[in-house]
Amino acid sequence: MTKSGWIFMSTERQDRYVSAFQRMIRIDTVSDANNGSDPENFAKFRELMWELFPHIKDACEVRDFDGSVLMEWKGSDESIAPVLFMNHYDVVPASGEWKYPPFSGEIAEGKIWGRGTLDDKSGVFAMMQAAEELAAEGFRPERTIYFEMACNEETHGKGAGDISAWLRERGIRPEMVFDEGGDILYEPIGGAKGTFAMIGVGEKSIVNMKFTARSEGGHSSTPGKDTPVARLAGFITYVERHHIFDVQLAPATVEMLRRFAPYMGMAGKVMENAGRLKKPLGALLPMFGPTANALVTTTIAFTMTGGGEAPNVIPREAWVLGDMRCSHHQGMADSMKEITKAARKFGLETEITEQGLESGITDYNGRAFRLVEEAVAATLPFVDACAPFIMTGCSDSRFFSSLCDQCIRFLPFLISGEQMDSIHGVNECLDTDTLVPAVDYYRYMLTHV
């Protein structure tokens, strides 16, 4: 991975950050929907935060929402709308074979290893360390700043939901929200040979649906046609092979391609004109693989299946679960309508098992996006350009999008493709030399917001 020739020096400051961050990684704050989580470890983590960041703790009013934390740093001018910075401190389980134990915080190969080094204790650390330094220096913000750190983002996001409800009840509407999301990537799409800060300006909404095929049952030695499993198989194959959802290039995606253009050689000429070439590009992008496809359309992945009672009995019921990620242009309601129409062709019943929140798209010409661009230019000089993008995954900021129309999803860490794949996978790790610039980024944000 190149850092465009930029070399970070190992400094006293970096060493100090690394040892504090190691301590955060060593506390196992797994939130696990199936096996529950250990509340004692979460309490330990909060204790550690107050030990590491005593000045900002004292400067803030701290509220606890069953382990999720909201800190209020009162500004000197209460007439200005507040802003909210957020990151979560729970992590997903760490199964599989790891190179270094997932809760060791081992330093090796210029990296710190462990679950949460990327998602998202790195964000918690950089945000809190910056705030701590400023509070210790006697800095007081002009407008009120909230810090939100949920302890259950990876499961239901209940903490963020409760905190958003608490703010709403008090009529508190942050003007800008800054959450985790995109990272800094080299060559984020094939051929874009530059280092880009990928700034999430929106996220697709999630709907989980169960599709059930039923029959009268009967002995499997005399099967008829269209038995439940065959109908499910027909449906799954049909949905995978046909474009049942609308394909469209959102303005934010057009802008992303435009910003990649100068780094794309000949292909850049096309990307430069992405605005005028929306139709053909929209049709072309799905051919560039699943990531490009997910940018332009609603997707559905079939993730769980079950049914049948015995090897020699035609199932009376068989089902498959689909995890649908809805595009902004089609939305949840219309995407559900399309998939239900397809399911009906195969005689399937449909049921919504989980329905998420729809969130808007933040204007990349707005104040929040511009501020992030300024902060990146000032503190992360190895970045070639900032690019807006619509996230295919989701973040806790969706709980605040009804309170705030400028939600930015970005973490100021340079990571490789391999590190990207380690998020929710094995061998999650962060380069130790990314900590200092990340803290500088948050210092800039907190002092200029």
- The residues that touch Zn ion, with contacts defined as CB under 5 A, are 119-120
Least Å distance, CB 154 to Zn ion, is: 7
The number of residues in the chain equals 449
Least Å distance, CB 384 to Zn ion, is: 25
Q: Which is nearer to Zn ion, 343 or 414 (CB)?
A: 414
Q: Which is nearer to Zn ion, 120 or 428 (CB)?
A: 120
Q: Which value, in Å, is the radius of gyration of the alpha carbons in the chain? A: 24
Nearest in space to 408 (alpha carbons), one of 166, 123, 75, 60 = 123
Q: Which is nearer to Zn ion, 184 or 274 (CB)?
A: 184
Is cis: bond before 120, omega within 30 of 0? yes
Q: Which is nearer to Zn ion, 105 or 123 (CB)?
A: 123
Nearest in space to 249 (alpha carbons), one of 281, 217, 289, 204 = 281
Q: Which is nearer to Zn ion, 22 or 31 (CB)?
A: 31
Least Å distance, CB 383 to Zn ion, is: 21
Least Å distance, CB 420 to Zn ion, is: 13
Least Å distance, CB 116 to Zn ion, is: 9
List the structure tokens of 172.
């508190």
Estimate the share of the chain in helix, then strand, then coil, as percent rounded to the nearest 5.
40, 25, 40
Least Å distance, CB 423 to Zn ion, is: 8
List the structure tokens of 300.
């559905």
Q: Which is nearer to Zn ion, 119 or 148 (CB)?
A: 119
List the structure tokens of 163.
């905190």
Q: Do 379 and 444 touch, CB atoms closer than 8 A?
A: yes
Residue 381 identity (one-letter amino acid): P
Nearest in space to 48 (alpha carbons), one of 135, 145, 110, 132 = 132
Pairing of strands 385-391, 317-326: unpaired
Q: Do 383 and 197 touch, CB atoms closer than 8 A?
A: yes
Q: Which is nearer to Zn ion, 330 or 359 (CB)?
A: 359
Beta bridge partners of 63: 70
Q: Which is nearer to Zn ion, 120 or 132 (CB)?
A: 120
Least Å distance, CB 424 to Zn ion, is: 9
Q: Is 9 exposed, middle or buried (0-12, 13-18, 19+ CB in 10 A)?
A: exposed
Least Å distance, CB 118 to Zn ion, is: 8
